[in-house]
Amino acid sequence: MDVFEAIRTTRAMRRLDASRPVARADLLEVLEAASKAPSGGNAQPVEWIVVRDPELRRRLGEIYRVEAHRTLPAYEERARSDPAVARMLRSALHLADHLGEAPVLLIPCAPAGQVRVEGSVYPAIQNLMLAARALGLGTTLTSMHRGNEQAVKDVLGVPDEIRTFAIIPLGYPLGRWGEARRRPVGETTHWDGWGRRGQGD
């Protein structure tokens, strides 16, 4: 798949086919892609927990469900007047109730308190998500579990000095691939200083 097509069509896939497993070879492929991401000072601090065990996924899904149902009501007022927000909220609520059913949960980890470690974590996540798209696998990035991160760490035996940055469900999507709606680049770009629009001619 062309890299630009992958970038354009990698969107949040919150509905995944629970009955269709992900091949180990594909898991290794997306993890290898993640390992090639930029890393400050080539420190390579990112490590991954791959959760395939059904009971562990169920327990993580329950923790996530509680945190998501605590967080998502904040969108309800906007959802009443904005159809796009309403669609997102419905999709997010579905994920809240079904995260533990995803065939695989991927959890990127890195040392807690390490300065600017996010600069290595999030490029790795993006590489992983693009590689998944190239293989026809859906993903979405969510971090709502961090409202009760210790519970997640307890389930997985993660030591105190390690931070979990996200939970990424991985599987074959039930939705359709397509480009997510985004603001036009002309509205979000400033040329040679803030407020300088239309200078890219």
3-state SS string for 117-159: CHHHHHHHHHHHHHHHHHCCCEECCECHHHHHHHHHHHHHCCC
**72: pLDDT strictly greater than 80:** yes
Mean pLDDT of the chain: 93
Q: Is 110 helix (H, G, I), strand (E, B) or coil?
A: strand
* Domains by residue range for the chain, with CATH: 3-188 (3.40.109.10)
**Partners of 47 in the beta sheet?**
109
Residues forming a β-bridge with 200: none
- To 10 degrees, the CA torsion angle through 149, 155, 161, 165? -50
Q: What gap in Å lies between CA 124 and CA 112, rounded to an integer? A: 17
Q: Are 93 and 68 in contact (CB under 8 A)?
A: yes
Digit-coded pLDDT (tens) for 165-177? 999 999 999 988 8
Q: Is the pLDDT of residue 200 over 90?
A: no
* pLDDT tens digit sequence for 122-152: 999 999 999 999 999 999 999 999 999 999 9
Across 52-71, average pLDDT: 95
* pLDDT bracket for residue 53 (50, 70, 90): very high
46-55, 70-79, 107-116: which has the highest mean pLDDT? Answer: 46-55
* Rounded (10°) CA dihedral 133, 107, 99, 129: -10
Maximum distance among all Cα pairs of the chain, rounded to whole angstroms = 56
User: What is the value of pTM for the model shown?
Assistant: 0.91
